[in-house]
């Protein structure tokens, strides 16, 4: 790390109230062909737990996953200081002390939402390796197990279906195309969690194009971390979840020493 980055990490680690907001898949975990088999790597799980139990420090997982699935893969116990933001910030699971501040869900499901999802599912039926995942506020087309030509065909067919739903939000990620009838993004999630926790600085880390909304929204004194390759507005890039865990360990060590 350059001297500038070292100074930024040190300043972040000693801020009065710190929010560490992390994407999950590909950030604290490796990707897996079975999405529900994903778990945080041990080094990341350990440092997340340490940070979550450090004074004036909050840890949140901010994911495109439905909240119910994020709770499973993050292995968050029913009573935990860790905050969860699912569906790109449309769903929240908060610690007991903050639970009464969960934002109200006033979203109105479009009358044709189920019909749109059924049409997308039918469009990719029979295409090997392509599947539709139903989500709380829409659906996702997964092509991780599909050949390149099948991926292209599946994406084209679903795009044709979605031409009839122009108001749905589109997102592209690693081997996935997401369609949602709600417009929240991870930038909204970070803004809400910053206000909720009173954070004086935020670290956000993510590995995919869907994380760039949050990374681009960060302010002076915050730290954005891109995990892996790809164009990014992050200040710092790390190679993989292991390297991110090492960075978080440095922050935890500085923060614990500063509080002693």
pLDDT digits (tens, 9 = 90+) for 68-82: 999 999 999 989 999
Q: Are residues 7 and 95 in the same domain?
A: yes
Q: Are residues 96 and 190 in the same domain?
A: yes
pLDDT digits (tens, 9 = 90+) for 45-63: 999 999 999 999 999 999 9
pLDDT score of 205: 98
Q: Are residues 44 and 170 in the same domain?
A: no
Q: Is 81 inside a domain boundary?
A: yes
pLDDT score of 106: 64
Instruction: Measure the N-to-C terminal CA separation of the chain; round to a whole number of Å.
Output: 26
Q: Strand 201-206 vs strand 223-227: parallel, antiparallel, or unpaired?
A: parallel
Q: Are residues 121 and 158 in the same domain?
A: yes
Q: Are residues 176 and 249 in the same domain?
A: no
Q: Are residues 150 and 203 in the same domain?
A: no
State the CATH number of the domain containing residue 66. 3.40.50.1000
**Which strand (E) or helix (H) includes residue 222?**
none
Q: Is 108 inside a domain boundary?
A: no
Tokens describing residue 257: 């020493």
Q: Are residues 55 and 80 in the same domain?
A: yes
pLDDT at 99 over 80: no
pLDDT at 250 over 70: yes
Classified as helix, coil or strand, 220 is coil
pLDDT at 10 over 80: yes
Sorted by sequence, the CB contacts under 8 Å of residue 160 that are 6+ apart come out as: 123
| Segments forming the whole domain that contains residue 62 | 3-101+184-259
Average of per-residue pLDDT across 30-41: 95
Q: Is 107 inside a domain boundary?
A: no
Q: Which residue, 180, 199, 221, sits at the end of a domain? A: 180
**pTM for the structure as a whole:** 0.91
Number of domains the chain contains:
2
pLDDT digits (tens, 9 = 90+) for 203-240: 999 999 999 999 999 999 999 999 999 999 999 999 99
- CA dihedral 170→174→176→178, nearest 10 degrees, is -30
Q: Are residues 97 and 188 in the same domain?
A: yes
Q: Are residues 81 and 8 in the same domain?
A: yes
Buried b (16+ CB within 10 A) or exposed e, 84-111: bbbbbbbbbbbeeeeeeeeeeeeeeeee
Q: Is 190 inside a domain boundary?
A: yes
Q: Are residues 33 and 68 in the same domain?
A: yes
**Which strand (E) or helix (H) includes residue 113?**
helix 113-124
């Amino acid at each position: 790390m350059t001297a500038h980055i070292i100074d930024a990490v040190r300043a972040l680690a000693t801020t009065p109230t710190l929010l560490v907001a992390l994407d999950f898949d590909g950030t604290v975990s490796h990707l897996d062909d079975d999405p529900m088999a994903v778990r945080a790597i041990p080094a990341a799980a350990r440092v997340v737990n340490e940070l979550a139990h450090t004074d004036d420090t909050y840890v949140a997982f901010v994911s495109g996953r439905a909240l119910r699935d994020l709770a499973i893969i993050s292995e968050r116990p029913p009573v935990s200081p860790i905050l969860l933001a699912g569906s790109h910030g449309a769903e929240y699971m908060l610690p007991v002390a903050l639970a009464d501040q969960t934002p109200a869900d006033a979203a109105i499901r479009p009358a044709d939402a189920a019909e749109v999802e059924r049409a997308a599912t039918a469009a990719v039926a029979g295409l090997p390796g392509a599947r539709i995942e139903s989500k709380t506020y829409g659906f996702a087309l997964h092509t991780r197990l599909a050949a390149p030509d099948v991926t292209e065909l599946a994406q084209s067919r679903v795009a044709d279906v979605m031409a009839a739903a122009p108001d749905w939000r589109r997102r592209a990620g690693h081997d996935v195309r997401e369609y949602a009838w709600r417009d929240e993004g991870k930038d909204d999630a970070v803004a809400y969690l910053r206000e909720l926790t009173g954070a004086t600085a935020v670290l956000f880390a993510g590995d995919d194009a869907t994380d760039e909304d949050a990374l681009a929204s960060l302010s002076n004194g915050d730290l954005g971390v891109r995990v892996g390759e790809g164009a990014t507005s992050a200040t710092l890039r790390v190679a993989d979840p292991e390297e991110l865990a090492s960075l978080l360990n440095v922050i935890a060590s500085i923060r614990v020493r500063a509080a002693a």
